[in-house]
Amino acid sequence: MYIPKQMAMTGQNTISDFISSHNFGVLISSDLNATHLPFVFAANEGEKGVLYGHVAKANSHWRTLHNERVLIVFNGPHSYISPTWYHQQPAVPTWNYAAVHCYGTVQLLGDADTQDAMQALITQHEASLLTNKALMPDDYQQKLRQAIVAFKVVVDDIQAKEKLGQHRKAGDQQGTYHALRESHNRDSNELSDYMEKRNLGLGHSQ
């Protein structure tokens, strides 16, 4: 991924939080097959973390994944940026966004690790379901696990980017932030929230 120096997302905790908050990624293998999946990122496993996911057994993608080096793309907030929001002109429209690319090697999981991976994913999103045996009885969960293939990706490289207008003058950054904030477009609002949270592209010190 092309990442100008001022747009690099840095810090292990920052990147880990981003992946956990935007964990619905795209798994892309060398044959250009792609599957959209939720992931759990275990940042403290391995040198650069381990991603856990699963696919339907009916999805033939898994048959080519074992020991395959893959790319997983996590997309964050993004939005169109109008040049009319800038103080400095001339200017052109652009698109601002945040994204993380993870590269690593796939290992298929056995039954016990598959159960652990599924529980970790449920815990991340709705932990109370694990104790709701009326809704999710153990035998029912076990039956459904027979229809999936779980895997882990041992990450060896992470490329992370925040394109938020950091190269623009302070007035342009502030104009962009306020226009996004006041927009009726949900994507624009989410990007302004992200800018505020990260204190990036707002025309003051980071």
Closest among 104, 79, 109 to 94, alpha carbons compared: 79
**First-last CA distance in the chain:** 23
- Could you report the per-residue pLDDT of 102-129, keeping only the tens digit for each? 999 999 999 999 999 999 999 999 999 9
Question: Which pLDDT value is given to residue 205?
Answer: 45
User: What's the pLDDT tens digit per position in 36-85?
Assistant: 999 999 999 999 999 999 999 999 999 999 999 999 999 999 999 999 99
Could you tell me the pTM of the whole model? Answer: 0.94
Please return the burial class of 15, using the count of CB atoms within 10 Å of its CB with bins 0-12, 13-18 and 19+: buried
Q: What angle do CA 62, 115, 63 make, to 5 degrees?
A: 10
Give CA–CA dist 192/153, Å, rounded.
32
pLDDT per residue as tens digits for the range 181-196: 999 999 999 999 999 9
Categorize the per-residue pLDDT at 200 as very low, low, confident or very high, splitting at 50, 70 and 90.
confident
CB atoms within 10 A of CB 161: 18
Beta pairing partners, 107: 152
Right CATH for 5-197 from 3.40.190.10, 3.90.1150.10, 2.30.110.10, 3.30.70.2170: 2.30.110.10
Tokens 């153990």, located at residue? 138
Average pLDDT over residues 4-13: 96
Question: What ranges make up the beta strands (E) of the chain?
Answer: 24-28, 34-38, 40-42, 50-56, 69-81, 94-108, 148-163
CA 54/CA 58 separation, integer angstroms: 12
In order of 11, 75, 122, 158, the CA distances from 48 in angstroms are 12, 19, 23, 8
pLDDT score, position 79: 98
Distance, in Å, from the CA atom of 48 to the CA atom of 16, rounded to the nearest integer, reads 10
Q: Quick one: pLDDT at residue 206?
A: 42
Tokens for 75?
């997309």
